[in-house]
Structure 1
């Protein structure tokens, strides 16, 4: 038991501490250094703005949190527009809840705040021997996250108040168990079906388009045929990664960095101990706990009378299944791996000594310290690669910040050229020719960035002056300039002819494909033939077009086989034949999933009502 808890301490503590950090997606001590217009508003909630700066800082914090959690995520996904929009949605939701709390005068008492803080393992572990909080360590813990006690407690108080809102929402939801089970059966039901698709491209060879048809269609829809808006641009990109590749580190610099960080590089002192646990839950009545303590004292006397019998007595009496079979051995561990009272005893003992009884929430422990592994500092050579990488990154970030200031001032001092900025920064501008509009694409990652495209195709498209520095990521800043702009203009028939022919051919082929699907469905209704491939479909299926899945699950199964013809949104059609109904797979948590889905829907409805009540608007 104790060995299991010790080995899984981080597993239990990390998610709880992560909950604290999530609450601070909008909090940070260091001001954001982005080169954007600080007052730019991207959304308003109840008349209060969410600025571009606040959004960027929140997303940076969220990305940092995800990376710190150890989750392996593609960096491109973290910086995608979808991910950034999710952060903005979180900000809006947080502002909505805060507005609701203020309007309804909700609050969390000091007593509840203190009680909830003490439930957080990493904070509870900071208690001193007399039960009071070690405030210095508490401040150090928060400082490591860029927080102060005042900011942390204020935000945590807001989070607790927000929990009250959703606790009340959850309490108001009532779902009869039988209804939940019925809903799960309906949701989880599967259907064995045959599928056959009719793709328009398979019918292209059977259609033809005359010039008269094409000309008539063009004349009726000529407003739909326009050239793409295009621009030629050049940009000046400042990248911390590129700077890092140019950083040269001397042996003297590396040695100095090594010596300054030696204490952090040193391994922690580790101790090896064995223990005998006589289990006694902390909630046991005092009289029963005293009986267990008396038993433990008896075993302690046996151990002290013959220290060589420790392993034998551990196998005989210890209630810790993880270590009893090994004679109580817990192997080596450093500080922070055990509960505090146990750890304090181990790290105050001399090698070979036996402790007195040590009480914890698990019971009473008899400890024998079997070995001590003193901390050691790895050599410079063994750490060279790691230290060079760290130092190079640190120097590159410093240089990046300095060069960012130069870029910011240079693009304003010489607004219609990058000659001066490029010379000062020793980087060459990049020219991108024929960058297409938002609906198009480009092979250039910088020119394809949504922030860059927004600037290019906004009111700056014809300005031909340097843009303000645009923050692409924490390590990339760019200024972009339009060299030439070709607006979208109507095409004449000769220019649009090939596109019109292709469009009409696809339309005709789609009609043939849908007619073929309809004929097949009618034929199957008269003759029970097998078609296509057999698949099992449920509402959770992800490998089918939504319209096909919806048709399969909606068709009446009063008489089987049930046949349904489906028009596909991209053209063509499909025929589905439901052959068999399969009950929902057994799932003990199915009812809970239904309840959770209902609660999620309630929460979404609550947010939607708040959006109406507090008037949310977005500019992105």
Structure 2
């Protein structure tokens, strides 16, 4: 049977084709023929968002962020939090689309035109007569991979969606009385007296027994953890190391000297005088013609008698800044003047007078009065600079080639770094007690999270082989290997006995301070006259008077219905504080400018709150369901 099929394979293929294709015609082609069904991750207004939609959207967002910020860590972009944020944005977009459709919010042509005109890059394409350069506009949006029609449709859609939230946000406002009420509460000031019971003052009263220290050690193993550490060796490739391995050819160096001598020696300077007849570029054609004729007449006059140039400039030049000095402009380089003037001046020989030169300022007649040529340094004088410049240029061109050798070298000889170091003349560096998180003050490769992540990857720790070449900066790569690894573990009591003692004493001291403070608070409430408090000070959120944040918050939260008011606050390991609130101090009058800024800030907060509340209402209206747990 199989032999028969093999002999008549062409006939069998035609038969199968005739049998299968009609089924697609009458039944249709479902995407599940070609891909597995994707689970639903969210639902908005009855429409589903599939896992595949979410994956594609997040991939596009990540690609855009990487293109805008090449140094961003790829792991951050693919974190659960970043992925969930993409899903929330997708849901928000679907909610706004649904709302815009139900509310029939469509951006008009006039709104679209106004928005286009507000985009600087497009506004710059306007011609003098007010029309838009259509070809330049098409090229501008084409650079973003869009057609003008697609770009405008996308903008129109965004305008429609902005109207949905704009109806809530843009209608928000705050009154002066609301600003005063809110800001007076936020920046309220109170006169208080404070007594602090510092834990350090009770340390001498704590007597720890060996049994108590052992019990504390066993009850708090997390406080005595030794983080995972590794001994590593690594090599770094950068442009400096490429330069160090380069040997320059003497002929190349001398050629570079000849080609760049004029640049390295400095620019030639020229001194000139000029006669200017003003005619701005927006002057009428008749006025410019008249100015040119006047300049031409003066040119004929000074050419007949070149010695009279200064006198004519003083009498007839319309450059008020130089006319009194006979038109003298002093020394200048080629880039100091507008291009038409500079080109004409550098085409003259000393003593020559130019033709009439037209610029945006008007019409010039130029007389070159002096040339200052910089001295040309010898090859020997410039050699250090020549070597530096040429090495930098060649290193930039060679880096890509060497980087490929580096990446291949650490992969091919993966059990050590000596081979690639010797081949590329790099130094193998070593470091002890390296952790997964950059240590304070770390520099270079050991300060780069991506490189440390590669070092502490499971395959790197298990095999003790080289990491791949990791890009740790612009024009900089590193590879390393773990030579010894110590996993995280609880240190033995003997190793941390001093720390156990210090922590136990600190905890007990804080407890004694809290007990003393609470006892004093109770006693002073009953007999205020016996209270031993500090001097009265006026405090506020913007005026903390060097008091702990907890004291400020407790003082401002205390009820002022019956003054004076007493309260206490636990300061944790620092101890305890007793606070007496004497009075509420009226907030000083504020500058009008500050009040206006505060009103604007409060209006923004209020608009944001109303916008958030309105969006939550829309989510409920359109029955939003997110089926993925928030990270």
The CA distance in 2 between the partners of 1:581 and 1:454, in whole Å, is: 55
> How do 1:306-455 residues align onto structure 2 when only pairs under 5 Å count?
395-436=394-435, 438=437, 443=442, 445-455=444-454
Q: Aligned pair in 2 of structure 1 residues 157, 185: CA closer, same or farther (>3 Å)? A: farther
In terms of mean alpha carbon deviation, does 215-224 or 507-516 score higher?
Answer: 215-224
Unaligned segments of structure 2, at least 5 residues: 1-50, 101-105, 270-274, 281-285, 295-314, 321-335, 340-355
Partners of 1:492 and 1:163 lie apart in 2 by 65
| Count of equivalent residues | 488
Q: Is the 8 A contact 1:44 1:50 kept in 2?
A: no
> What's the CA shift for 1:198?
4.1
What does residue 11 of structure 2 align with? Answer: none
Deviations 1:215-238 (A, max 9, x none): 233344457644432211111222
The correspondence of residues 78-89 of structure 1 with structure 2, limited to 5 A, is none
Query: What secondary structure sits across from 1:588 in the alignment?
Result: helix
1:58 aligns to what? 65
Aligned partner of 1:231 in structure 2 is 230
Tell me the CA shift for residue 596 of structure 1: 1.0
After superposition, the Cα gap between the structure-2 partners of 1:592 and 1:247, relative to the gap in structure 1 and judged at 3 Å, is farther
Counterpart in the other structure of 2:539: 536
Partner of 1:459: 458
Query: What's the offset of the Cα at 1:573?
Result: 2.7
Secondary structure at 1:509's aligned position in 2?
Answer: helix
Q: Do the aligned partners of residues 246 and 156 (structure 1) sit closer, same or farther apart at CA in structure 2, a change above 3 Å counting?
A: farther
Q: 1:46 pairs with 47, 50, 54, which one? A: 54
Structure 1: how far apart are the matches of 2:242 and 2:626? 46
More helix by share: 2
Alignment of 1:190-339 (within 5 A): 190-194=189-193, 197-222=196-221, 225-240=224-239, 242-243=241-242, 250=253, 252-253=255-256, 256=259
Distance 2:572 2:132 in 1: 63
Q: 1:442 to 1:122 in 2, by over 3 A?
A: closer
User: What is the Cα deviation at residue 468 of structure 1?
Assistant: 1.9
Distance in 2 between residues matched to 1:560 and 1:373, nearest whole Å: 89
User: Are the counterparts in 2 of residues 466 and 480 from structure 1 also a CA contact under 8 Å?
Assistant: yes
2:586 to 582, 589, 595: 582
Query: Retained in 2: the 8 A contact 1:352–1:368?
Result: yes
- Could you tell me which residue of structure 1 aligns to residue 603 of structure 2? 595
Q: Specify whether residues 517 and 592 from structure 1 end up closer, same or farther in structure 2 by C-alpha distance, changes over 3 A only.
A: same
The CA deviation at 1:50 is 4.3
1:549 aligns with 2:552: yes
Residue ranges of structure 1 left out of the alignment (5+ in a row) = 1-42, 64-78, 277-296, 313-331, 336-349, 356-366
The corresponding residue for 2:29 is none
Q: 1:308 to 1:198 in 2, by over 3 A?
A: farther
Deviation at 1:485, TM superposition (A): 1.1
Judged with a 3 Å threshold, the aligned counterparts in structure 2 of structure 1 residues 223 and 54 are, in CA distance, closer, same or farther, namely: same
Match of 1:363 in 2: none
Whether the 8 Å contact between 1:196 and 1:532 is mirrored in structure 2 is no
Alignment of 1:171 onto 2:157:
no
C-alpha displacement at 1:166, in angstroms?
A: 4.8
CA distance in 2, matches of 1:61, 1:433: 36
Check conservation: 2:213, 2:501, Cα contact below 8 A. Answer: yes
Shift of 1:520: 5.3
TM-score by length of 2: 0.58
What SS does the corresponding residue of 1:431 show, helix, strand or coil?
Answer: strand
Q: Does 1:474 align with 2:490?
A: no
* 2:261/2:376 contact within 8 Å kept: no
**8 Å Cα contact 2:245/2:424 also seen in 1:** no
State the TM-score, normalized to the length of structure 1. Answer: 0.59
Q: Contact 2:510 / 2:572 at 8 angstroms: preserved in 1? A: no
Structure 1 residues 405 and 222: alpha-carbon distance in aligned structure 2, compared to 1, 3 A threshold: same
RMSD over aligned CA atoms reads: 6.0
Are residue 118 (structure 1) and residue 122 (structure 2) matched?
Answer: no
Larger radius of gyration: 2
Which is worse superposed, 490-499 or 548-557?
A: 490-499
CA distance in 1, matches of 2:245, 2:538: 57
In structure 2, what is the equivalent of residue 5 of structure 1? none
Instruction: Give, in whole Å, the separation in 2 of the partners of 1:613 and 1:390.
Output: 62
Asked if the contact 1:227–1:489 (Cα under 8 Å) also holds between the matched residues in 2, the reply is: yes
* Residues 152/559 of structure 1: CA separation in 2 closer, same or farther (3 Å cut): farther
Taking the aligned partners of 2:195 and 2:586, their CA distance within structure 1 comes to 21
Change (3 A) 1:88 1:211: closer
Per-residue CA distance 1:429-488 (angstroms, 9 max, x = gap): 211122245497675553343223333344243331111222322233222211111123
- Write out per-residue CA displacement over residues 103-155 of structure 1, whole angstroms, 9 at most, x where no aligned residue: 73789889866653433345433433344445777799x69xxx925369778
Q: Deviations over 1:291-335 (max 9, x none)?
A: xxxxxx9xxx9xx99x999999xxxxxxxxxxxxxxxxxxx9979
**Counterpart contact for 2:195–2:534, Cα < 8 Å:** yes
